[in-house]
Chains A and B, each alone.
Chain A
Amino acid sequence: MTQSYFPILIMLILAVVIGATILGLNWVLGRHQRNPSKLSPYESGVPPLDENRKRINVRFYQIAMLFILFDIEAAFLYPWAVIYRDAAQGPSGMFLFGEMAVFIGLLAVGYVYVWKKKAFDWH
């Protein structure tokens, strides 16, 4: 069983050897210049304006989290809707409908809750 993994081992070794060779040649043959534009994150890009580790208002995260939550609700609706059209005639049509009704109902309660808690207000 372990023998079938042997090609993967060879590939791993090759990847390390090739990577090390290219980087090593680069380091040996290339010229070492250390000026500000060489050391910037993108040498020929837009110069950075500010630090990237700034503190961000926690409200951004709250809004983003709620967005993802309700976004995923929509994502769950798609596969359900694709299946439902054919399954509605079958024996478990009512079951599928009930499941989605419960799911949306629960999310609606959550929606009302965060609305009432003023999580959508910026101030």
Chain B
Amino acid sequence: MTLHPLIEPGWVNAILPELVLCVGGLLLMLLGAFGARLRGITAPLALIVFIVTAWSEKLVLAGTFFGGTYEISGITRIFDITFLLSAILATLFAREYLEREGIEGGEFYALLMWATVGMMMMAKGLDLLIVILGLELLSICIFVLVGYHRRIPVSNEASLKYFLMGAFATGFILYGTALFYGATRSTNFTEMARAFSTADPNNVLLSIAFVLLMSGLGFKLAAAPFHGWAPDVYQGAPSPIAGWLSVAPKAATLIALVRLLSAMLPMLQFSLWMKMIAALSVLSMVIGNAAAIAQRDLKRMLAYSGIAHVGYMLIALLSLRDDSVAAIAVYTITYALMNIGAFGVVSTLAKNQNDPQTLDDIAGLGFRSPFSGLALTVCMFSLSGLPPTAGFIAKFYIFKTAVDSGHLAIAIVGILTSIVSVYYYLRVVYYLYMKEPAEGYAIVPAGGIFATGALAITMIGIFVIGLFPTPLFAMAGAAARALLP
């Protein structure tokens, strides 16, 4: 029985992970409203839903669905796992954090689930409209999650800032999409690719459309010069959410960008568009790393370092080949582990959330709480890209793709700026172990079993990817070869 011409048989299979997450979110939301006494089990339930979703990925068959607007393939599976990994880590860190702050509720985890659905749509959408729909679903959840500390002014400010600027950026994306539709008569990537193969590279309409779309997506990526919101929003957001926000939405935007750019492949070599991406990349690396040096607030420092990391990931977009897409996939997984881990340690510092979480708070922390200190150290080594951590391997492959495809100058900028970044990452380690805390001011991490487990996962993940990267790269490489024409 056919339901509708655009609904192929097996459609339930295609969106099974999304369905599980949507229903799980609804259940958790109702649980938050009905069972006020069951507050303790919401986080474990959320974890179960996320793990069931990850398991349901195995049941999903590859193919295109819904009239060629939704594609499930190896690369979307890898990105789905990245989103779920980030959500699981954020849930683990949020459990005790929210309890300590007295704001725990089922809605928090429900929003996290729906945001994950939005990101899955962005990764799988073969149509710009699906991507935008996913992006909006994601953004609306982020606006609420960032302001989840309802009674804390900094959090409200962050939420409002992100809302106003996010709405503005969405306007850019929509306008760009409308112009693309005007120029190619379609929003579908496959049909757009057909139009691009014969399009005039000097078409003004297409250039304006591309610039508008890149500005909007650059905002979502927090790539310089569209990065202004990032430090303020990360500072005000609950720390587990700040970590998640700095990773998962960026990964979703990057995979959507890969799809869009691979549809434009025939045009890209003629036009100046790649120069725009190169400019975004270089600016992000330079501004992010230079500004991070000046930060004493840990969350702001990680925000600027996140801007720099987007710069590294954009390098791989310059040469759109299978190895560079694989490098992006591996980088986002690695980045999820190390950045959420770093924000996670910050989230365990029992401290008034209105105040900045400064370097002085972690002075001597390595001796007061050896495990937290070790975890933060591993994350910092990985973020700065020192072997044998995953950060080194991921960065190495990114720069290798740049060198292989002849973007030597950008690779050199990347390597130089990442040498600069070692200074501010290792300054954290210096504070952890070689700095005495101020008199009578010693903050002890208040993490429980959940946060400890999450830190263990990040550390194991960082070392496993760092020491045995081959299976992951083989999987990502095979998936990327299937993605690109």
Contacts and interface: CB of A to CB of B under 8 A. Distances in A.
How big is chain A's contact interface, by range?
Answer: 10 to 19
Contacts of B446: none
Interface string B2-34: 111101000000000000000000100110011
Contacts of A91: 2-5
A92 interface: yes
A93 to B, nearest CB: 9
B33 A117 contact: yes
Interface in A87-122: 91-92, 94-95, 98, 106, 109, 112-113, 116-117
A111 B89 CA distance: 31
A36 B26 CA distance: 58
A116 B36 CA distance: 11
A60 to B, nearest CB: 19
Interface of A: 91-92, 94-95, 98, 106, 109, 112-113, 116-117
Contacts of B34: 116
Contact of A109 (B3, B7, B30): B30
Interface residues of B, number: 10
Contacts of A109: 26, 29-30
A11 B26 CA distance: 55
A112 B33 contact: yes
Contact of B3 (A94, A106, A112, A113): A94
A116 B2 CA distance: 39
Interface of B: 2-5, 7, 26, 29-30, 33-34
B3 A95 contact: yes
B30 A113 contact: yes
A86 to B, nearest CB: 15
Contact of B29 (A92, A95, A113): A113
Most buried by A among B7, B26, B33, B34: B33
Rank and list the top 10 A-B pairs by shortest CB-CB distance, nearest first: A116-B33, A95-B4, A95-B3, A92-B4, A113-B33, A109-B26, A117-B33, A113-B29, A94-B3, A116-B34
Contact of B30 (A94, A106, A112): A112
19 contacts: A91-B3, A91-B4, A91-B5, A92-B3, A92-B4, A92-B5, A94-B3, A95-B4, A98-B3, A106-B26, A109-B26, A109-B29, A109-B30, A112-B30, A113-B29, A113-B30, A113-B33, A116-B33, A116-B34
Contacts of A117: 33
A1 B224 CA distance: 36
B376 to A, nearest CB: 38
A47 B49 CA distance: 61
B33 to A, nearest CB: 4
A117 B26 CA distance: 15
A117 B30 CA distance: 10
Nearest to A117: B33
